[in-house]
Structure 1
Amino acid sequence: MHRRAVALAVPATAIALTVSSCGSIPEDWRTPAFLQMGEDETDERLPAVSGEIGEKPEVTFPDMEPPDEEVSGVVHEGEGEDGLVRNDDLVVANFAQYEWSAAGEGEELDPDQASYETGAPDLIRMEEMPDELASPMVNQPVGSRVVYVMPPLSEEERTQAESMGQEVPEGATVLVLDLMDRFGAGAVVPGEQTEDGGDDLPTVVQEGHSEPEIDVPETDPPEDLTVEPLIEGEGDEVEEGQQVIVQYTGVPWEPDEEGRNEVFDSTWSQGGTPFDVNIGGGAVIEGWDEGMVGEKVGSRLLMVVPPDLAYGDEDTGMGTPTGTLVFVVDILDAVENPPQPDPEDMPEQPEGMPEGMPEGEIDPEDLEGLMPEEGDPGQE
């Protein structure tokens, strides 16, 4: 799946490596925890940031040289306690980044990549963030604004960053994050389930923040994709190419030898942590791409997916389920995806890296660890 990482240059590369689901932070890039001020204090070394939360901020740089240590702080605290960010949340955040070049001087970096311009916020998995970056956000209400200042790179860090094709700012790097929304473990759509399927469709019972119970009837499944809203959402319609945030459970229509329709994949079996994926672009099975586009955010869907829109009828040996599949999906949110970079702007591949996939038949053993586990409807 594609998950956007905060688009800072190094040392924000630490964020990119951590949040993007691949790689880790090199030991020599790890830094001491950010200096944090008390709840009622703001470090005078932080730039002044003004403007409405969720809209592009105005940043004024202090009349001093950038600090030589990392500093962070909450410059605006959101209202209410119902939406406090937790250390295992999936957070939706708007961001912009700046270069603080000298006393009182600075400018925005990559303004066309800032989410205020693109309308494509970051999805930040708090569990995957380094503690020094996550801790300023934890226990802050949704609607808060957090500012980070990262000192200029050392020569060693600069060389390493440039070798990775990163554009490296000369001065300190400043990141402004607006915490727009959060989805914690066990998140479900609001509203009361008024439909439960039934008749020739599976019956769904789901109470509160719990995994749905799916009772599949002893009848032949429908031949076509069937999407039945169990809760009708009140949000915007999901559009092709968006990143959707969902809770889901999947079972096969056909029972096993013991007559059970066992769950083959579920976010609930992973602690109820929401799943995010690009929809409508082939990152998931066709049944998801076709079934979710056009449905409203806030909906709970019963989806019956025929084999030709799922994994087929034949066992591929990859651990994916066969036959008709049944899903119950809560559409928690749908956000825009960031614009894709122009290939001409991408750094050249390091010498010795393969330019493409080998031709000819691929041995399934070569794909071990790369394919989705069990019945995961997505592809990494």
Structure 2
Amino acid sequence: MRKFTLTSIVPRALAAVCAAGMCITLAACGGSNDSDSSSKKSDSTSSQSSDTSALKDMKQIPGITATGELGKKPTIAFKTPKSVDNNSYAVLQNGNGAVIGNDDRVCSQGIAISVKDGSELDSTWEKNTPDCSLDLSNQNVTAAYRELLVGRKLNTTIAFGVNDSNSSGTSYIMVLTFVSKSKDYTKATGEEVKDVPANLPKVTRAKDGKPSITMNGYKGSDKLVAQTLIKGKGKTVTNKNTVKVKYTGWLLDGKQFDSSWDKNTTLDADTYSGGSNTVIEGWQQGMVGQTVGSQVLLVIPPDLGYGNKAAGSIPANSTLVFVVDILAAY
């Protein structure tokens, strides 16, 4: 039997909402941010009664309960052995905290429970390591998941069925309690750094935060340069985080080869190897030690970039120059 860890279970449980064709509806479904809306979600039956509900194709998990103080680790009970479907859920506890909004980042504590015998496979509660990867401002969040969460209150507990079809055949119920929320930055916000070395490229910013660059005769570096331009006041990024960023990249001749600003998108990038949001090593190293809200100038030599291979419009053996705004870290 494989080893269960919440770092792999939580994203898969969240992804279960996207199973069975649920990803076809990605737009926000207009859940209310008024505090009254959470009381209207006292159960999910009312949501399913509408033909227009994004939840209408999601099965509910019968016969499962949660007891205990809201916002604390719940006690989960159901008759075993139990069968569950992917794309299934049950609202177990209605919360008593702040109302979850359309553009919040929501953190959850989780318990994975075997449906075979009710044993606990893993939990984040004991080490207090909530998962904060759920970004409701991301338009790729399914309409069903958005409808299920937006307008509810923090400390709500929801169970999701995960019918594992891999070789271990271990199906489980993922019980998530949504314990906190925040809003990501939309651009770097903090103190302008005054002592930026004069020989580096010069960065200016438009009113909306979009950076422009003048290479200033800069010839590059054979070592990674990670120069903070704006010092944010958020959490410090570690080598175990994923960062949400906006960025623009240039070659040393000043030619821009990519920009999330131009595409009005953001990027999630892992600061470690082997994650699902893998980026070049120069990015992994350059983000560590920075703070959320910061803007960072990265100069990445070829051996920490794409090396002796071309990548799209980036020639082989290129030194890369990026300006990166760190909007969140989780």
If the TM-score is normalised by the length of the shorter chain, which range does it land in? 0.5 to 0.7
> How far 1:139 sits from its partner (Å)?
4.8
> How far 1:242 sits from its partner (Å)?
2.7
Task: Output the CA distance in 2 between the equivalents of 1:27 and 1:163.
Answer: 20
Task: Output the CA distance in 2 between the equivalents of 1:212 and 1:138.
Answer: 33
> How far 1:90 sits from its partner (Å)?
5.7
Q: 1:332-343 to 2 correspondence within 5 Å?
A: 332-335=327-330
Please give the secondary structure, in 2, of the residue aligned with 1:290: helix
Task: Output the CA distance in 2 between the equivalents of 1:70 and 1:183.
Answer: 26
Task: Output the CA distance in 2 between the equivalents of 1:8 and 1:239.
Answer: 20
**Maintained 8 Å contact 2:250/2:320:** yes
Q: How many residues get paired? A: 283
Residues 61 and 239 from structure 1, CA distance in 2 versus in 1: closer, same or farther, beyond 3 angstroms? same
Task: Output the CA distance in 1 between the equivalents of 2:8 and 2:181.
Answer: 16
> How far 1:299 sits from its partner (Å)?
2.3
Q: Which residue of 1 aligns with 2:108?
A: 93
Identity of aligned residues (%): 23
TM-score normalised by length of structure 2 = 0.65
Task: Output the CA distance in 1 between the equivalents of 2:238 and 2:186.
Answer: 22
Task: Output the CA distance in 1 between the equivalents of 2:244 and 2:290.
Answer: 13
**Maintained 8 Å contact 2:94/2:157:** yes
> How far 1:178 sits from its partner (Å)?
1.5
User: Which is strand-richer, 1 or 2?
Assistant: 2
Matched, 1:272 2:265: yes
Picking from 58, 62, 65, the partner of 2:74 is 58
Task: Output the CA distance in 2 between the equivalents of 1:75 and 1:286.
Answer: 43
Q: Which residue of 1 aligns with 2:180?
A: 180
Matched, 1:119 2:129: yes
* Structure 1 residues 214-264: Cα deviation after superposition (integer angstroms, max 9, x where no partner): 222234234432222112233443322332332222111213xxxxx32x2
Q: Which residue of 2 aligns with 1:373?
A: none
> How far 1:74 sits from its partner (Å)?
7.0
TM-score normalised by length of structure 1 = 0.58
After superposition, the CA RMSD in angstroms is 4.4
Task: Output the CA distance in 2 between the equivalents of 1:253 and 1:39.
Answer: 53
Q: Which residue of 1 aligns with 2:156?
A: 146
Q: Which residue of 2 aligns with 1:367?
A: none
Please give the secondary structure, in 1, of the residue aligned with 2:15: helix
Task: Output the CA distance in 1 between the equivalents of 2:9 and 2:192.
Answer: 36
Q: Which residue of 1 aligns with 2:232?
A: 233
> How far 1:303 sits from its partner (Å)?
1.4
**Maintained 8 Å contact 1:247/1:331:** yes
Please give the secondary structure, in 2, of the residue aligned with 1:135: helix
Task: Output the CA distance in 1 between the equivalents of 2:284 and 2:130.
Answer: 20
Q: Which residue of 2 aligns with 1:25?
A: 19
> How far 1:194 sits from its partner (Å)?
4.2
Please give the secondary structure, in 1, of the residue aligned with 2:216: coil
**Aligned residue identity for 1:132:** A
Q: Which residue of 2 aligns with 1:354?
A: none
Gaps of 5+ in 2: 1-5, 30-35, 45-63
**Maintained 8 Å contact 2:78/2:118:** no
Please give the secondary structure, in 2, of the residue aligned with 1:231: strand
Residues 38 and 231 from structure 1, CA distance in 2 versus in 1: closer, same or farther, beyond 3 angstroms? closer
> How far 1:109 sits from its partner (Å)?
3.3
**Aligned residue identity for 1:165:** S
Task: Output the CA distance in 2 between the equivalents of 1:91 and 1:268.
Answer: 24
